[in-house]
Structure 1
């Protein structure tokens, strides 16, 4: 079930290029997060209580707001393949943070599998003529770091509220943070939107945010955080495959090899020893536990794609 979230995020590039107005990635991020969060809050009729008045904004900033803002900078200053490859470092970052914040062991198996994931994504999306930009690289690394921190803190701070309520709080917090940034950088929304634009924004709100983030956060609740972030490597695989099948983009033998390496890495991460949390059977937390994608990774893209998703 958790894997469905990065699979959905892998469709974002196709939806963005085919249905949305060009050159408005921050607007897409706001429309994706804020309406979905308000919808979930309205459905659950729950507001934060106690420490969650500050925890929810912190997690929403890390998992959504700051993540998308930094990813936007990386996308505009780096080729999509470079940003996606840097984003593939996230499982390793989560494993290191989990060592300090959750007391989980950093094993050789996790390290080797994480490196294999980075190699696989680079073969899948990285072009030989890719250029590097210092600020873009820093933004891409920071986006992976803030998302990794959000994932680990979500595990450290279990919420007493229902999953959908916690998801809604964080989507609202991330959307509120992104709104002034989008207005400052891109200006006001377009005066008119086509039916295709509305369909694309509706997909990102309902499927790409409300459903996908709920699945992703549920996975963080039920699984060790490193296992969850390895599943995020599915996004560039899906994005590249859709680009090849639907948009007739080039698909090389090296990309096929990279895809196989990514799949092998994430399967190895899920089936290895130590996938259960120390002292607790997998999925033993109650339905109210916190589970906070960025994108995914949030969440990469094909060699022709932007990593904004």
Structure 2
């Protein structure tokens, strides 16, 4: 793949975590309070069922089990942990906790994919973590134990989903919409009984709530995950994982624009560090090998 196509693929894939970065704003401003399971289920299940109705293709053979595993890791468990962290932590702090994901991908990729752990990857992880810390940590930022644990478990779940998605690929003949629909549906179905048993329905649903759920389902799930799985198929696992740092960047920018949060010089430095780490971790197109001279040609006389 050429350098231009790699850059284009990375940019399009980064749109998915950028959209996920808006989850914190939408959750706190538009969704009913203290309903992480309901938010997770309504984000995943309607979008997944819509894609299944469109494609009318179900898994076969071993892909029933694989779809279940990927749906739980990439969608069900990740969504629940994401919303739980969003309800218990400020958006930036939640994003910081979950920024350990590329480090987990680095280790799992070495074990399950045989990826080589290079020094540049470790340096990029450290730069990115430091950049996110500068970006999101502000005076008075609260650390809630439940939120921190949820963020770490969400990062572990998503990291495992990324690595296994790269290891298993996609079934032959199954398009991207169908593959995404399987996982969203599985994640939503796993969450549904837990939601019904654990969380009461809100007493009232406002139009703002409806708009928030619609945005998270259509844009935050259906569109974002199609772009994400498209990128995972074309990029190395670690490079794709680093694109998740677009999430705290987006969360910080939205907080500045809509929640009257400050944006100080240290945060700008952190943003620059995050962008630099992402660029550092992206793959480079291989240089073409030099064309050998024809045998017997005396190049010294050319």
Which residue in the other structure is 1:216 paired with?
A: 228
Which residue in the other structure is 1:290 paired with?
A: none
Q: TM-score, normalised by structure 1?
A: 0.81
* Contact 2:242/2:281 (8 A) holds in 1: yes
Residue 268 (structure 2) pairs with residue 265 (structure 1): no
Residue 205 (structure 2) pairs with residue 193 (structure 1): yes
Residue 237 (structure 2) pairs with residue 225 (structure 1): yes
Using the TM superposition, give the Cα deviation of residue 50 of structure 1 relative to its aligned residue in structure 2, in angstroms.
Answer: 0.6
Distance 1:45 1:181, change over 3 A: same
Q: TM-score, normalised by structure 2?
A: 0.83
**Equivalent residues in 2 for 1:77-156 (5 A)?**
78-130=89-141, 132=143, 136-156=147-167
Distance 1:168 1:176, change over 3 A: same
Using the TM superposition, give the Cα deviation of residue 178 of structure 1 relative to its aligned residue in structure 2, in angstroms.
Answer: 1.7
Match for residue 194 of structure 2 among 177, 181, 184: 181
State the SS of the aligned residue for 1:2. helix
Q: Unaligned 5+ residue runs, structure 2?
A: 1-11, 287-302
Q: Distance in 2 between matches of 1:245 and 1:77?
A: 22
* Contact 2:239/2:283 (8 A) holds in 1: no
Structure ID, larger Rg = 2
Using the TM superposition, give the Cα deviation of residue 74 of structure 1 relative to its aligned residue in structure 2, in angstroms.
Answer: 4.0
Using the TM superposition, give the Cα deviation of residue 130 of structure 1 relative to its aligned residue in structure 2, in angstroms.
Answer: 4.5
**Equivalent residues in 2 for 1:211-290 (5 A)?**
211-270=223-282
Using the TM superposition, give the Cα deviation of residue 194 of structure 1 relative to its aligned residue in structure 2, in angstroms.
Answer: 2.6
Aligned residues: 273
Which residue in the other structure is 2:294 paired with?
A: none
Residue 63 (structure 2) pairs with residue 52 (structure 1): yes
Q: Distance in 1 between matches of 2:78 and 2:267?
A: 27
Using the TM superposition, give the Cα deviation of residue 184 of structure 1 relative to its aligned residue in structure 2, in angstroms.
Answer: 3.5
Distance 1:69 1:240, change over 3 A: same
* Contact 2:36/2:80 (8 A) holds in 1: no
Distance 1:85 1:99, change over 3 A: same
Q: Residue deviations 1:37-58, cap 9 Å, x none?
A: 0011111111011111110010
Q: Residue deviations 1:150-181, cap 9 Å, x none?
A: 10000111222211111111111111122233
Residue 15 (structure 2) pairs with residue 4 (structure 1): yes
Q: Distance in 2 between matches of 1:273 and 1:222?
A: 13
| Greater mean deviation of Cα atoms: 152-161 or 121-130 | 121-130
Distance 1:125 1:185, change over 3 A: farther
State the SS of the aligned residue for 1:21. coil
State the SS of the aligned residue for 1:250. coil
Q: Alignment RMSD, CA only?
A: 2.1
State the SS of the aligned residue for 2:208. helix
Distance 1:257 1:148, change over 3 A: same
